[in-house]
Every structure is written in C-alpha cells, then in structure tokens.
Amino acid sequence: MFSLRALPVVAFLAAGGAPSAEARTCFSPEQTRIQVSAHKLVEPFKLMKKAASTEKADPISGKLCQWNEKLVYEISLLRKDGQVLRVFLDAATGQQMGPHSER
C-alpha cells in the first residue's frame, strides 16, 4: 500500500519528482486504451478511485502520459478545502511517483 499524502513541492522536485512539461506527452482516451492493453498497464479508473479514497478527495481527471520512457498516470483530485492535488503513479505498477499540490 502506498501513501498519497502531499509533499512540499521543493522536496518533491528535489527527490526527482515529475519531469518538466516539455518532457511529457499525454495520450487521448482512445490512445490510453490502446496503451493499457498493449503494455498490460493498471486500469486508470481503479487507481483514480483508490487515490480519491485515500486522500478523501473527489477525482477531477486522470490521464496517461509518457515521461521520457516511462508511462505515468497523472491524477488530479479536489479536496474539500478546495486544494487540488496532482498525484503521479507508475502506470505499470500503480506505485506512487510523487504528488504535487496546486493552489
């Protein structure tokens, strides 16, 4: 089981967090279905639901992206206090790569 608690942004980036937007390519829903099937990835809805439950937040969106050679789910959640959390999960394993909060 992994924890999805938000980390300070500086610690997240210093620990090798999410790459810059320039290094990221995200897939359309149809392309995502193809990638999930071809690479036997964890189903995105399952991970989105688990992340929302763990954070006690409402899911906003989820997308599959490729960062360099790694396939990553980027899941956005909305907390009751209005804070948006962005959680990054390895699409092959479901393991947390690091969260990023936005205001």
Count of helix runs (H) and strand runs (E) in the chain? 3, 5
Question: What pLDDT is stored for residue 23 in this prediction?
Answer: 79
pLDDT in tens, 80-92: 999 999 999 999 9
Question: What pLDDT is stored for residue 9 in this prediction?
Answer: 32
Give dist(CA 90, CA 63) in Å, integer.
Answer: 12
Q: What length is written for the chain?
A: 103
- The DSSP letter of residue 50 is H
Residue 44 has pLDDT above 80, yes or no: yes
Backbone phi, psi, residue 58, to 5°: -95, 135
CB 27 within 8 A of CB 51: no
Q: Where are the domains of the chain?
A: 9-102
0.75 exceeded by pTM: no
Mean pLDDT of 8-35: 66
Question: What pLDDT is stored for residue 101 in this prediction?
Answer: 44
> Radius of gyration of the chain from Cα atoms?
13
Question: What pLDDT is stored for residue 13 in this prediction?
Answer: 33
Quick one: fold of 9-102? Nuclear Transport Factor 2; Chain: A, (3.10.450)
pLDDT in tens, 56-89: 999 999 999 998 889 999 999 999 999 999 999 9
Alpha helices (H) in the chain, listed in sequence order:
9-14, 29-39, 44-55
Mean pLDDT of 10-33: 67
Contacts of 51 (CB under 8 A, 6+ apart): 4, 57, 59, 75, 77, 87, 89
